Amino acid sequence: MPATDNGAPSALDTHLNFETAAEHATAGVPVVGRLEKASDVRARLVGQLYESASHVVVCDAEIFLGMMTIEQLLAAAAGATMETLMDREAPVVAPGVDQEVAAWRAVRHGESALAVVDQRGRFVGVIPPHRVVAVLLSEHEEDLSRAGGFLKSTSMARRTSEEAVQRRFRHRLPWLLLGLGGALLAADLVGSFEAHLHMHLMLAFFIPGIVYLADAVGTQTETVVVRGLSLGVPMRRMVGRELLAGVLIGMALAAVALPFVWWRWSDPALALAVGISVIAACSTATVAAMLLPWLFDAVELDPAFGSGPLATVVQDLLSIWIYLWVATLVMT
């Protein structure tokens, strides 16, 4: 939950959640008053054992005022007061802020530690550097696991990676059988255009290329969508951009393929059929690659096993049908 524009936590941040900033904060840090002198503070720190002494917190009673690094304190003049040394704009978070949000706020402000302050401005504790690093590493591992297959947690990713051969077989085979059925259907689909292919044999030469381009564009889109969903990005924020990207990619590929096919085989009708088919196949592949991961997520199935094979079947069938249908219209 975000802080307000001036860095102070909002009222919504005060609700404690699991894996929050408060769970990583420690009050075992040097806390000093704003009028104390650097020499007095340095003398007071000698012989003291803190959980973290990387930062010194400045408070007025219980109210947080600012923070400074231990290096700044050691380098300060003996008579300098804490209020002149402290960073008044030090980033703070509320106790209920998610641990990942808190850690990234410290990174964005170039800080190795982060103060936790409640809604009334009272000092709760400091998230020390080693805990900030631990949170970043933990969240990074979780994001990688989820981005690889939109898994809900690292433990699920580990179970999927370490499951027995029998479970791997049961999880994967049904989707691959569906792919086999799609391949047989594709053969039947091509057969339905047998007469036209017999008249224009050259058309058959471009089927693998059209299918490959559709699969490649779809795979790129599916990877982006699965990663976005795993990081909490709403589908509505990705649909428009990905669809436009798919159309533009199809147009760019068609702009290269059309003149080359025309020049190489001296057949403008064939070149036009290939160009139109590339645009249409890339566009439909983008739609299929966005829709299937979203549907799998909605019904709580793992797209790592299902959406890839199913998307491939759909993209292949659509690209073959589009190509042969367009070629029939253009070359008749």
Tell me, what's the pLDDT at 8? 42
217: domain CATH number? Answer: 1.10.357.20
- Does one domain contain both 176 and 132? no
183 Cβ neighbours under 8 A, 6+ residues apart: 313, 316
Closest C-alpha to 163, from 174, 171, 173: 171
The last residue of one of the domains, among 137, 164, 183, is: 137
Q: What is the pLDDT of residue 10?
A: 42
Q: Computed over its alpha carbons, how large is the radius of gyration of the chain?
A: 30
pLDDT for 169: 83
Structure tokens at 72: 């700044």
The pLDDT of residue 145 is 57
Residues 193 and 276 in one domain: yes
Is 286 inside a domain boundary? yes
In the prediction, which pLDDT does 159 show?
62
Q: Do the domain assignments include residue 146?
A: no
- Backbone φ, ψ for residue 206 (5° rounding): -100, -5
The whole domain housing 119 covers 11-137
Please report the pLDDT score of residue 148 as a whole number.
52
The domain boundary, picked from 137, 159, 187, lies at 137
Spatial CB neighbours of 83, under 8 Å, sequence gap ≥ 6: 34, 35, 58, 65, 66
CATH number at residue 104: 3.10.580.10
Q: What is the pLDDT, as a whole number, of residue 17?
A: 39
Which DSSP helix (H) or strand (E) runs through 117?
Answer: strand 114-117
Alpha-carbon distance values, 188 to 185, 192, 305, 317 (Å): 5, 6, 26, 10
How many residues make up the chain in this entry? Answer: 332
Residues 201, 321: one domain?
yes
Are 311 and 288 in contact by the 8 Å Cβ rule? The answer is: yes
Question: Are 211 and 325 in the same domain?
Answer: yes
Lookup: tokens for 202 = 């050259």
Choosing from 137, 162, 184, the residue where a domain stops is: 137
DSSP codes of every residue in 222-242 = HHHHHHHHHTT--THHHHHHH
- Other Cβ atoms less than 10 A from the Cβ of 278: the count is 30
Q: Is residue 1 part of a domain?
A: no
Residue 327 lies in a domain: yes
Same domain, 50 and 186: no
Give the DSSP H/E element, type plus range, for residue 282.
Answer: helix 268-298
Same domain, 190 and 290: yes
pLDDT tens for the 332 residues of the chain, in order:
334 444 444 433 333 334 788 888 899 999 999 999 999 999 999 999 999 999 999 999 899 999 999 999 999 999 999 999 999 988 899 998 888 788 888 888 888 889 999 999 999 999 998 888 888 777 766 666 555 544 444 555 556 566 678 877 877 788 788 888 888 898 888 888 888 888 888 889 999 999 999 999 988 888 888 777 766 677 888 889 999 999 999 999 999 999 999 999 999 999 999 999 999 999 999 998 888 877 876 776 665 555 667 788 888 999 999 999 999 999 87
Q: Are residues 182 and 319 in the same domain?
A: yes
Domain count, the chain: 2
DSSP-derived secondary structure letter, 32: E
Q: Would 151 be classed as within a structural domain?
A: no
* In a shared domain, residues 189 and 327: yes
Same domain, residue pair 98 and 232: no
Of 242, 202, 205, 192, nearest to 222 by C-alpha is: 242
On whether residue 196 sits in a domain, the answer given is yes
In this structure, is residue 163 part of a structural domain?
Answer: no
Q: Which residue has the tokens 């050259």?
A: 202
Residues 127 and 202 in one domain: no
Q: The tokens of 149 are what?
A: 């297959």
Is 155 inside any structural domain? no
Residues 19 and 62 reside in one and the same domain: yes
The full DSSP string for 154-218 is HHHHHHHHH--HHHHHHHHHHHHHHHHHHHHHHHHHHHTTHHHHHH-THHHHTHHHHHHHHHHHH
Would you state the structure tokens that stand for residue 221, as one six-digit string? 């889109």
Do 119 and 20 fall into the same domain?
yes
